[in-house]
Amino acid sequence: MPTSRAPAPLSATDYLKQVLTARVYDVAIESDLESARTLSRRLHNRIYLKREDQQPVFSFKLRGAYNKMAHLSPEQLKAGVICASAGNHAQGVALAAHKLSSRAVIVMPTTTPQVKVDAVKALGGEVVLAGDSYSDAYGHAVQLQAEQGLTFIHPFDDPLVIAGQGTIGMEILRQHQGPLAAVFLAIGGGGLISGVGAYIKAVRPDVKVIGVQMADSSAMAQSVAQGQRVTLTDVGLFADGTAVKQVGEETFRVATEVVDEFVTVDTDAVCAAIKDVFIDTRSIVEPSGAMAVAAVKQYVATHKTKGESYVAVLSGANMNFDRLRF
Ligand SMILES: *Cc1c(COP(=O)(O)O)cnc(C)c1O
């Protein structure tokens, strides 16, 4: 797989350094950490929302993509980058490339909705439509990468991508300095939770890191339970930002170390959470973006906690309204 990994696995403290020196703020904002007043009152706990839906491309993905690309050589940037994605990573890479004046080729499956194709084009990305599925698009991207001497920007399985996402953990611990019971994060390939989890475990190991997956798309939870990476044959597509059949090698290794607990949620719980987020923020997040909130509610109900503080990361807001009616 054409990722550029560090020769030896990075420990949690190495990730601490990588996060502290990550370059993300040329494109990303320090998003707000907001109290969810209505939800907090209802759950008898203090719930804070980390507003990654506020980012320029409406998800956190530009942090990792930009950090990766900011570490490329001028020659590599000049040659250009490539990725395969139908979703938020595509927009993150396109925006990061635009900022760094690099060419960005984005391979998307032919089934990608036109709005997503247009969003990438508007950011200056060159869209190549190939294959019916993500894995076909991925295969095509690998081929183009080799033919044209481009650098592959992986959506999650790369230490620099992981460290870029980890800056969210750094911000959370800076923005919230009192007692904090747990941080909840949606998992797809595992880059977000690896970066944030490694940072939190290095700085505040008392804070629990809780991974959230859809019941029909839980590759990371199953992989960690079995002690090896599993490949799912089918994944539910409702939460498209987290529908991943196989997690990364490095993200599997890091998540195994830093995730305290996994929670799985279903479609009804996520729909209810989208509404909860709307009530408190007047913003609509996408299904993957609301998974952490659904998990906080479930966790509080199961553990019957009171007066604790929890953070839920609202990871994205690229809502596909066509899918909402399902
Ligand atoms: C990519 C994504 C995730 C999952 O991140 P991973 O690093 O793949 O685990 C969660 N939510 C949204 C909105 C995303 O775009």
Q: State residue 115's pLDDT score.
A: 86
Burial degree of 124 (CB within 10 A; 0-12, 13-18, 19+): middle
- Residues 185-218 have pLDDT tens digits of 999 999 999 999 999 999 999 999 999 999 999 9
Q: State residue 79's pLDDT score.
A: 97
| 306, two tokens | 């009171």
Question: Stretch 78-103: mean pLDDT, rounded?
Answer: 96
Please give the Cα distance from 55 to 97 (Å, whole number).
Answer: 16
306 Cβ contact partners less than 8 Å away, ≥ 6 residues apart: 44, 45
Active site residue 297: no
Second-level CATH architecture of 12-58+158-325: 3-Layer(aba) Sandwich (3.40)
- Residues 267-324 have pLDDT tens digits of 999 999 999 999 999 999 999 999 999 999 999 999 999 999 999 999 999 987 766 6
Please give the Cα distance from 17 to 10 (Å, whole number).
Answer: 10
Active site residue 61: yes
Nearest residue to 200 via CA among 39, 50, 32 = 50
- Residues 25-56 have pLDDT tens digits of 999 999 999 999 999 999 999 999 999 999 99
Classify 237 in phi/psi space as left (phi over 0), alpha (psi -120 to 50) or beta: alpha
- Residues 178-193 have pLDDT tens digits of 999 999 999 999 999 9
> Which CATH code for domain 61-152?
3.40.50.1100
pLDDT at 4 exceeding the cut of 60: no
Helix runs in the chain, H state only: 12-20, 37-43, 61-70, 74-79, 88-99, 114-122, 134-148, 159-175, 191-203, 219-226, 249-258, 267-281, 287-303, 321-324
How far is CA 19 from each of CA 113, 159, 195, 202, 267, rounded to the nearest angstrom?
Answer: 34, 10, 8, 11, 33
Q: Is 166 in the pocket of ligand 1 (CB under 6 A)?
A: no
Q: State residue 326's pLDDT score.
A: 54
Please give the Cα distance from 161 to 153 (Å, whole number).
Answer: 8
116 Cβ contact partners less than 8 Å away, ≥ 6 residues apart: 86, 87, 90, 108, 318
Q: Is 213 in the pocket of ligand 1 (CB under 6 A)?
A: no
Q: State residue 322's pLDDT score.
A: 67
Q: State residue 106's pLDDT score.
A: 97
- Residues 114-151 have pLDDT tens digits of 888 999 999 999 999 998 888 889 999 999 999 999 99
Question: Stretch 77-88: mean pLDDT, rounded?
Answer: 94
Residue to mutate, 61, 158, 242, ligand 1, most ligand atoms under 8 Å from C-beta? 242
- Residues 240-268 have pLDDT tens digits of 889 999 999 999 999 999 999 999 999 99
CA angle 159, 164, 166 (to 5 degrees): 90
pLDDT grade for 2, boundaries at 50, 70 and 90: low
Q: Which of 50, 61, 68, 297 is catalytic?
A: 61
Q: State residue 325's pLDDT score.
A: 59
Q: State residue 135's pLDDT score.
A: 84
Domains of the chain by residue range? 12-58+158-325, 61-152
Distance 220 CA to ligand 1 centre (A): 12
Which residue's structure tokens are 């560090």?
Answer: 6
Please give the Cα distance from 208 to 304 (Å, whole number).
Answer: 16
263 Cβ contact partners less than 8 Å away, ≥ 6 residues apart: 184, 210, 211, 212, 213, 295, 298, 299
Average pLDDT across the chain, whole number: 94
- Give all strands of the β-sheet with 104-108 in edge-to-edge order: 126-129, 104-108, 81-84, 151-152
| 136, two tokens | 């076909």
Q: Is 289 in the pocket of ligand 1 (CB under 6 A)?
A: yes
pLDDT grade for 232, boundaries at 50, 70 and 90: very high
pLDDT at 165 exceeding the cut of 70: yes
- Give all strands of the β-sheet with 182-186 in edge-to-edge order: 33-35, 46-51, 309-314, 182-186, 208-214, 261-265
pTM equals 0.95
- 12-58+158-325 with 61-152: one CATH topology? yes
Distance 106 CA to ligand 1 centre (A): 18
Please give the Cα distance from 49 to 62 (Å, whole number).
Answer: 19
Q: Is 59 in the pocket of ligand 1 (CB under 6 A)?
A: yes
